[in-house]
Amino acid sequence: MTKKKVKAKRKNKEKPTSAYIGGVVGVASGIIISVCLGAFVLGGVKFSEKPKKVKDTTPQKLVEATTTEPLETESIPETLPAEIAAILAAAPANQNATEPLKIDSTKPMIALTFDDGPYLGSTEKILDVLEENNAHATFFHVGNCITDETKHILKREIEIGCDVANHSQAHENLRDIPLNSALTSLKNTDKLIKDATGKTPIYVRPPYGAYSDTLREEDGRMFIYWSVDTNDWKSRNADAVYNTVMTYAEDGDIVLMHDIYDSTADAVAKFVPALIEKGYQLVTISELMEYRNFSYEEGMLLFNLHPTNPLYDSLYGTDTYDNPPTTLPAEEGGIFNTTPDDITETTPSTTISTTINATIPSRPRDNKNADTVY
């Protein structure tokens, strides 16, 4: 990949994505106590240089989901209908909103993102706060958490203007399983989300931040990373999460959280009105891209859309890695730490470290031993 600094705005590729945008279908059901996800415990982050693109030769054996029977799937097409590119180009700023939030492109904005739900109770509390404050967010859902008891949560996310996106079927490490298994995991989750909302998600966040270039290329959607990690999975402390967001989140940041924790929901109730009071607009990934004049690109990896120095990586030869930020907020042992091998298991700390100097390599792909939930 030839790397060069480019402007944020890029023309959309003619290659269509694997996203289908349809109408909203609501499915509501009774409330039953459900158990969604446990903790995912893995160790630091290892980085490697981007390899040359080669044909994936991994034995193509499907792996069953850990907690549900695998869904029936169709073969994954090599190409998608040409009209998808046109649909994306004509879509409103928020792919889901029926009445989009009025956004001023000249004012600062932050994209809040939540992983691992939907979860009865905590996800709903977060939605209450967002709706009360006319704020939006993006939810990356795990397929196995989408049940008859939780489908109404996805419908509500759509109704209040949030984006719903894909976080795999069973929180698998998509880099370490066969390519067809990884694609099937994403496709099964797409089906569950579409059944609940009528929409196929156009964004993916791989669990643990683990992926391969081949997966990005074959899946054909944008992969969304983050630039501020709240470490809410670690602290389980609302004040710590609040302090991280209020200290580090800036214009164009993508903030990582998990909607399965009550402590995170409590933090959201505090920092959402506080950020709005400071003049920030809280938007979805779709809205952030739209109002930063940043076009959807197949297979792109997006970290943030800072006004003057956005950070992203393209499969097609352009990125901003030649001029990355000199610092990124992260707790010791976070994904951007340059010494992940030094991490040891300790009691979770409620304190937040100072900003860590980091040099970002071409691909933060190998999180096989990460101790994070992501």
116 is catalytic: no
Residue 26 CB neighbour total at 10 angstroms: 14
Using the CB atoms, write b or e for 218-239: b if 16+ within 10 Å: bbbbbbbbbbbbbbbbbbebbe
* Locus of tokens 């944020």: 8
Q: Which of 37, 91, 41 is nearest to 67 (CA)?
A: 37
Residue 303 neighbours by CB under 8 Å, 6+ apart: 225, 226, 227, 254, 310, 311, 312, 313
Count helices and strands (H / E) in the chain.
9, 12
Rounded to whole angstroms, the Cα distance separating 248 from 330 reads 9
**What is the spatial distance between Cα 245 and Cα 250, in angstroms, rounded to a whole number?**
9
Active-site residue (options: 219, 229, 258, 313): 258
CA–CA gap between residue 152 and residue 131 (Å, rounded): 15
> Look-up: residue for tokens 């939540």?
114
Reading the block at residue 55, the tokens are: 């044909």
What distance in Å separates the CA atoms of residue 211 and residue 177, rounded to the nearest whole number?
Answer: 10
Dihedrals φ, ψ of 258, to 5°?
-130, 125
Query: Would you state the structure tokens that stand for residue 266, as one six-digit string?
Result: 């409590």
Give the residue carrying structure tokens 């990355």. Answer: 324
Q: Which of 115, 116, 213, 219 is catalytic?
A: 115
| Residue 171 a catalytic site member | no
Q: Annotated catalytic sites, by residue?
A: 115, 258
